Amino acid sequence: MRFSLKRLRLNAWQLLSLLIIPVLATISFGIYSSTKPINATIDLSWPNCSDIPNRFFKSAVIGVTGGLDFHSNPCAGNEMSVVSTYNIYSNTGDPGFPRIKQLGKKPLACHGLELVCYSFNYGYTAGRYARLQAQYAGLHASMWWLDVESINSWTNSIAANRADIEGMALGIIGSGHNLLTMAIGIYSAVNQWQAIVGNWRPGFPIWLGTGDLSLKVAKSACVTPSITGGPIVLTQYTVANLDYDYVCHNTSLRPLRLGFVKNGLLY
């Protein structure tokens, strides 16, 4: 099959875009504990492995990859134990040829040097890897965030970078039942998102990086223009080397259901 992004969107991606609808309508994080938590949302991943908070927090977004795609966060399971509820996030990236051709063998049949096609497949494979890492760590959530930052490798092709993100979203979600029970959002900062994918507005919910130390700035970022065209759900700020996330209360979200869990795997 020759690659056609238009044809792809009329099939798999058009269905995937419906996932935005379940999140539009109180943000919901996965798994609950009876311990009374600190009323705050934080985000944790591999940089926190040597200094996991000894306090218990209301909610978190936990990274299952180790700063790069196809790298794991070795302490994700331990980080889950210090929060009451959580979402999951995964790093993204597109290193270009030859790596994307080595790892991007499905689901599309790509040929020669079809950069956009192989980028989609690479993202899809990275998404499946992230799902497996979450399962290995015992994490299951219906809301996933894709961490799109310029610190990771990207091609000079905006179309290829967009295809990589689309592929990763589909790789995480899969198909069938998950299309109705899981949703994808984007973590990024304004200038980084624009540098990587241009003025693309796919409608994903946003977790916005402010790069600031102030809760006041994080609150005000809730009403800034959306970089994806979707609702701004979380805004990030940093206090004492720990990343906090303000939940934008002006954003109306309905709780998300978890997928079915069978034999320890999320379907």
Handedness of CA 146, 137, 95, 167 (dihedral sign): negative
How far apart, in whole angstroms, are the C-alpha atoms of residue 157 and residue 138? 36
Burial class (CB in 10 A: 0-12, 13-18, 19+), 150: middle
Q: How far, in Å, CA of 43 to CA of 45, rounded?
A: 7
Whether 262 has a pLDDT exceeding 50, the answer reads no
Q: Is the pLDDT of residue 175 over 90?
A: no
- pTM of the complete model beyond 0.85: no
Q: Is 80 exceeded by the pLDDT of residue 227?
A: yes
pLDDT at position 26: 37
Per-residue pLDDT reduced to its tens digit, 130-150: 999 999 999 999 899 999 999
Residue of 189 and 23 predicted with greater confidence: 189
Q: What is the mean pLDDT of the chain?
A: 83
Question: Which domains does the chain show, CATH number per domain?
Answer: 5-266 (3.20.20.80)
Encode pLDDT of 56-77 as tens digits.
999 999 999 998 888 999 999 9
